[in-house]
């Protein structure tokens, strides 16, 4: 009987891997690359993450994983509306998309502002402005070259994780600077309520309200 390997720990701000440009992967299907991918996916699953980048587990190489890059999830109204996107993805057995040496080849002129958080900065949220759509290229674990256009939530998560590969954290892109950081226990003060004409948003809600990039949604 083979015992399941425990997930690696998430490193936090201050760890050098989070502030350096990650190295490109040269041996795309080598043993070390497979090891890092396995650890990354285990960590993503352990934290019910939307996405995760290799530097967040202390591995400064250009690999990231995104839960639903290809937008395969039905709407919340169609499937288990009480669950977040990550839980619905698990229900549908949607595996994370692993991207090796990812790049953004084009970005839309339209931008959205949304709340982001990160497992490497636990408890902190901030408003970040990003292109609403991006065209991406990467190598899949099987060696296939992949091109895809990400829109909305998937685009935001991909950009957030790609930033990690360049030593950039979401706190570097805050609309209002570090003064705009909010602890998750106070986030409800920042989000629109029904009385304000907006949807009630929770820290685990979707991109129309608040998006936890590396944690549960």
pLDDT confidence tier of residue 47, bands split at 50, 70 and 90: confident
Domain 16-212 belongs in CATH node 3.30.1490.20: no
**Residue 161 annotated as catalytic:** yes
State the average pLDDT for the chain.
82
pLDDT confidence tier of residue 206, bands split at 50, 70 and 90: very low
Residue 68 has pLDDT above 90, yes or no: no
DSSP assignment, residue 130? E
Residue 122 has pLDDT above 70, yes or no: yes
Percent of the chain whose predicted confidence (pLDDT) is above 90:
64
Residue 197 has pLDDT above 50, yes or no: no
- Candidate list 161, 184, 186, 195, residue with the active-site label: 161
Upper half-sphere CA count for residue 191 (Cβ side, 13 Å)? 26
- The predicted structure's pLDDT at residue 120: 97
Query: pTM here?
Result: 0.82
Q: Tally helices (H) and strands (E) across the chain.
A: 3, 9
Q: What is the mean pLDDT of residues 149-177?
A: 95
pLDDT confidence tier of residue 50, bands split at 50, 70 and 90: confident
Q: What is the DSSP string of 97-119?
A: EEEEEEEEEEE-S-EEEEEEE-T
CA–centroid distance for 135 within its chain: 16
Residue 86 has pLDDT above 80, yes or no: no
Q: Choose between 30 and 91: higher pLDDT.
A: 30
């Amino acid at each position: 009987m083979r015992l399941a390997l425990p997930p690696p720990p998430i490193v936090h701000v201050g760890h050098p891997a989070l502030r350096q440009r990650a190295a490109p992967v040269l041996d795309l299907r080598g043993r070390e690359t497979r090891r890092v991918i396995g650890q990354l996916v285990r960590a993503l699953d352990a934290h019910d993450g939307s996405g995760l980048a290799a530097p967040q587990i202390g591995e400064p190489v250009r690999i990231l994983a995104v839960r639903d890059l290809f937008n395969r999830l039905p709407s919340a109204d169609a499937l288990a509306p009480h669950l977040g996107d990550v839980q619905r993805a698990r229900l549908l057995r949607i595996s994370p998309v692993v991207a090796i040496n990812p790049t953004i080849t084009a970005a839309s002129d339209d931008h959205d502002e949304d709340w982001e958080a990160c497992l490497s900065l636990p408890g902190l949220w901030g408003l970040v402005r990003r292109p609403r759509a991006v065209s991406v290229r990467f190598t899949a674990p099987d060696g296939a070259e992949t091109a895809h256009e990400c829109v909305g939530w998937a685009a935001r998560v991909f950009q957030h994780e790609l930033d990690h590969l360049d030593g950039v954290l979401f706190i570097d892109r805050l609309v209002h600077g570090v003064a705009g950081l909010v602890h998750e226990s106070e986030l409800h003060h920042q989000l629109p309520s029904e009385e304000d004409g907006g949807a009630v948003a929770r820290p685990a809600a979707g991109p129309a309200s608040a998006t936890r990039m590396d944690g549960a949604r």
